[in-house]
Structure 1
Amino acid sequence: MDYFPIFVNLQDQHCLVVGAGDIAARKIDLLLRAGAQLTVLAPEISASVLDLQQRQPEKLQIQRRIFSAQDLPGHTLVVSATAHDAVNRQVAAAARALNIPVNVVDSRELCSFIFPAIIDRSPVIAAVSTGGAAPVLTRLLRAKLESVIHPRYGNLASLAGKFRSRIKQQIRHPGQRRIFWEQILQGRIAEQVFSGNQESAEQMLEQALQEKNTRPAQGEVYLIGAGPGDPDLLTFRALRLMQQADVIVHDRLVSAEILDLARRDAERIYVGKQRQNHSLPQESINMLLARLAKAGKRVARVKGGDPFIFGRGGEEMETLMEQGIHFQVVPGITAASGCAAYAGIPLTHRDYAQSCTFVTGHLKDGSINLDWKQLAAPNQTIVIYMGLIGLGSICQSLIANGSPADLPAALIQQGTTSKQRIVTGTLGTLPDIVEKQKINPPTLIIIGRVVELRQRLAWFDTDGNTPETITQPA
């Protein structure tokens, strides 16, 4: 490695910053946050540095003069952030002569240490660096880490620190202690911290410590909406819970790319359902979740879209409540919202539709028995899930109940993914157009004047090519 990563305790340590412009201000701010006692040397002081001094006058001393090598003794660390190369080189040489760590901003060759990009969840600190070779890449990597390190991990670390000595005394065996901490830091107690319930988390940790040998481990179920297909549409919370789950129970609408984001060693159980072909009946899925949780497993029930929009999450929740199983619900981007957005079709628009209705294309007995009069009302958008097989009947029923035959309609296949296809037409023409194409589920149907906007608002592009669109003949 080019640089050895190390964390330095700067609490009340005397540090020197040469320069007082806006770039220097950023370094000064970081050092102040680390608790350093700072001296800043510069003939001219920027407003941003003066503002920092006003906020922490006891920590920041300003001297309006040029640098001298005699300023260095007694300092733990030095930063040079001037616009003058000669001054920066003078600072670097003097610091090296005294074996004082020195950083010269934007001059890697003059540095004995560099500032990484920092993710601050104190007392949890994460840092990433490319050794000064690619600062933009460093910022991108930091952004990725920011997205997966929950803002309250610092609270979780503080809770662990508070109980560390007691747990070490009570659980003598290192292996058993590690397992206990894994359960605490990844389970229900951690989730209480992440939800802002610090007091409840402490009470639960107290109870876990008292009862650790008196009852079997209790698992938990996460009802997770995985969105319409694009892995980037997962919520941070969904990703975090998938990566801590022991078992992933998933349906056929969850893409392989999303499953790859789960914990590598997690058991995967497929319970997908297709028309006339259910790998497991819903009742069996419900009991499977309860059985796994009772065995002490953390179970991620991952569903395409949102668990509560035609996802049967409510039925699973009822079983878990009846069985006394702890669970969480993580909403996902439903297919209607995701697929419509990627197709360039707004679900509502003040000039085209003032309401939007979601319906399913088949009911429990396989029939399509909807309130056609209501659905045929004007100035609204109708979104139909699982309607591919009954598309012809749907269009005929809407026309029979007052919808115009030339009302725009679209069918979206595998929306939000690189395999997205969009078929557009009208109530009168869409069934025939779709019949001539090789269309496979999952699909979504959108009916309403908002479909007219697609030609102007189509934006989703993959690999430089707009996903295939099939439109009725002129």
Structure 2
Amino acid sequence: MDFLPLYFQLQGKPCVMVGGGTIALRKAILLQKSGAIINIVARKVLPELRQLAESTEGTIRIGDYSVADIEGMFLVVAATDDEALNKQVSDDAHQRQLPVNVVDSPELCSVILPAIIDRSPLVIAVSSGGKSPVLARMLRSKIESLVPAAYGRLANLVGGFRDKVKLSYKTVDERKNFWEEVLNGPIAEMVFAGKDTVANQMLSQRLDAEPAEMIKGEVYLVGAGPGDPDLLTFRALRLMQKADVVLYDRLVADQIIELTRRDAERIYVGKKRSNHAVPQEDINQMLVKLAKEGKRVLRLKGGDPFIFGRGGEEIEQLASHNIPFQVVPGVTAASGCSTYAGIPLTHRDYAQSVRFITGHLKNGTADLPWDELVHTNQTLVFYMGLVGLPIICQKLIEYGRNPETPIALIQQGTTEQQRVLVSNLREMPATAVKEQVRAPTLLIIGEIVTLREKLAWFEH
């Protein structure tokens, strides 16, 4: 290990920056965030840097560097393009045993300013010891995506209860087990959901309750998107890795299911038209039962759970039993499939509105407001419309839509198996039969479909 990672307490401490350009400004911003008093020494100083130093009640001295400039400082930073000057600052600081950082010259440094993930008071630092700052920044970006911003608020919540926990749990192991339970359970999830006050109340109750009273599970209603795993949200991935039990639909891709915890129990509750593996009412009851057993339950649904996903029915049942739950939106099929097909849903020249419609016609009837669906300046998106495709096309023509109106049928959108058929209202039903189209599919109807010829990108 070339450098020992240390965290400096610089709040209210004087630091000196030798240099007044853009490099110095980047380093000074970090010092300001730590609460340091920033003093600048340079022949020229950027206005932004001057303003930043003054905001910390630091000084600006215009002129050449002098060894007196580093006397009494807690940290010295050399950020000039003059190699000889940078080395002089480094030598002077080393002679006085002052921590010194020389930008882009690790051999002259006694301290390195790392790439930082700031979730204050939680701070994560990544350093390559000056060997590859770009690599350190790349790793920082990866970690940024894995650590939600709310972790800082979670750290503050925990900090406020440390003394009380020490009184309640006498041994180190007891306290460790307690905090692991809190940080991996519903209390932390309340913070991630932005409900800090609720989390505070739950933590207080947890400390006052007997362990047996706290056995209570939680349900995560997560939208898995239209198929491509890369379209999952960060929150979805995090909850997928926490769940003890996974209830998943037919439309959830195998690659997405594989992203759940390896040791989680997986239960298939998929539904096809007129063939429900598990009736919806049984799914609702199963969610309640598993949560009451103290399990973290992931309800993984294709697309978005609140757009033709019956998510509202499921959480309504959970709410009636006082089961904690979270809902994570997913990329709905209309957005995902249209994008991957190269068909915008709105466009100033073609469509100023878009309507999402269920094509799963109840009891085989066509009870839809067809007179509202024939306006030419809107895009129609039919979910689950394959079986009802002939009726949909027939009714739109019957109510006045031009039979030549373009229509796109997208099968298994956003996946490697994606197929896109483009036709018109008159011919699409026969085309779908000829091409032996299979669910899942999505229908997009409107003049905007003509843009696909220019904008299709995914197949290429």
- Residue 5 of structure 1 corresponds to 5
- Residue 281 of structure 2 corresponds to 283
Shift in Å, 1:132? 3.8
- Residue 167 of structure 1 corresponds to 165
Map 1:257-406 → 2, pairs under 5 A:
257-363=255-361, 365=363, 367-371=364-368, 373-374=370-371, 377-379=374-376, 380-406=378-404
- Residue 429 of structure 2 corresponds to 431
In structure 2, do the counterparts of structure 1 residues 49 and 362 end up closer, same or farther at CA, with 3 Å as the change threshold? closer
SS at match of 1:332: coil
Distance 1:53 1:97 in 2: 26
Shift in Å, 1:208? 1.5
Residues 102-139 of structure 1 deviation map (CA, whole Å, 9 limit, x = unaligned): 22212233333322221212111112234444444443
- Residue 41 of structure 2 corresponds to 41
Aligned length: 459
Shift in Å, 1:316? 1.1
1:142 to 140, 143, 166: 140
Are 1:32 and 2:32 matched, yes or no? yes
Contact 1:227–1:304 under 8 Å retained in 2: yes
Shift in Å, 1:350? 4.1
Distance 2:242 2:160 in 1: 23
- Residue 124 of structure 1 corresponds to 122
SS at match of 1:410: strand
Contact 1:101–1:112 under 8 Å retained in 2: yes
AA aligned opposite 1:5: P
- Residue 51 of structure 1 corresponds to 51
Residues 168-225 of structure 1 deviation map (CA, whole Å, 9 limit, x = unaligned): 2212354443343233224333333334443333222211111133514111112111
SS at match of 2:59: strand
Comparing 25-34 with 236-245, which one deviates more in the overlay? 236-245
SS at match of 1:41: strand
AA aligned opposite 1:206: S
AA aligned opposite 2:318: L
Contact 1:368–1:390 under 8 Å retained in 2: no
SS at match of 1:325: coil
Contact 1:250–1:270 under 8 Å retained in 2: yes
Distance 1:418 1:277 in 2: 27
Contact 2:217–2:290 under 8 Å retained in 1: yes
Contact 1:117–1:138 under 8 Å retained in 2: yes
SS at match of 2:152: helix
AA aligned opposite 1:222: Y
Structure 1 segments of 4+ aligned residues over 6 angstroms from their partners: none
Contact 2:40–2:53 under 8 Å retained in 1: no
1:453 to 433, 451, 457: 451
In structure 2, do the counterparts of structure 1 residues 355 and 63 end up closer, same or farther at CA, with 3 Å as the change threshold? closer
AA aligned opposite 2:224: A
In structure 2, do the counterparts of structure 1 residues 257 and 214 end up closer, same or farther at CA, with 3 Å as the change threshold? closer
Structure 2 gap segments, 5+ residues each: none
In structure 2, do the counterparts of structure 1 residues 276 and 196 end up closer, same or farther at CA, with 3 Å as the change threshold? closer
2:232 to 231, 234, 237: 234
TM-score between both structures, scaled by the size of structure 2: 0.90
Distance 1:390 1:195 in 2: 39
Contact 1:373–1:402 under 8 Å retained in 2: no
In structure 2, do the counterparts of structure 1 residues 135 and 388 end up closer, same or farther at CA, with 3 Å as the change threshold? farther
- Residue 109 of structure 2 corresponds to 111
Distance 2:231 2:339 in 1: 12
AA aligned opposite 1:23: I
SS at match of 2:211: coil
Comparing 31-40 with 295-304, which one deviates more in the overlay? 31-40
Identity in percent? 53
Shift in Å, 1:73? 5.1
Shift in Å, 1:74? 4.0
SS at match of 1:215: helix
- Residue 19 of structure 2 corresponds to 19
Contact 2:118–2:124 under 8 Å retained in 1: yes
Residues 340-375 of structure 1 deviation map (CA, whole Å, 9 limit, x = unaligned): 12222222334433443322232454x253326336
SS at match of 1:103: strand
Contact 1:359–1:383 under 8 Å retained in 2: yes
In structure 2, do the counterparts of structure 1 residues 30 and 354 end up closer, same or farther at CA, with 3 Å as the change threshold? closer
Root-mean-square deviation (Å): 2.7
SS at match of 1:150: coil
Contact 1:219–1:295 under 8 Å retained in 2: yes
Contact 2:37–2:53 under 8 Å retained in 1: no
Distance 1:280 1:449 in 2: 40
- Residue 472 of structure 1 corresponds to none
- Residue 198 of structure 1 corresponds to 196
Distance 2:200 2:141 in 1: 31
Shift in Å, 1:72? 4.2
2:213 to 212, 215, 228: 215
Contact 1:361–1:368 under 8 Å retained in 2: no
Distance 1:53 1:15 in 2: 10
Contact 2:38–2:56 under 8 Å retained in 1: no
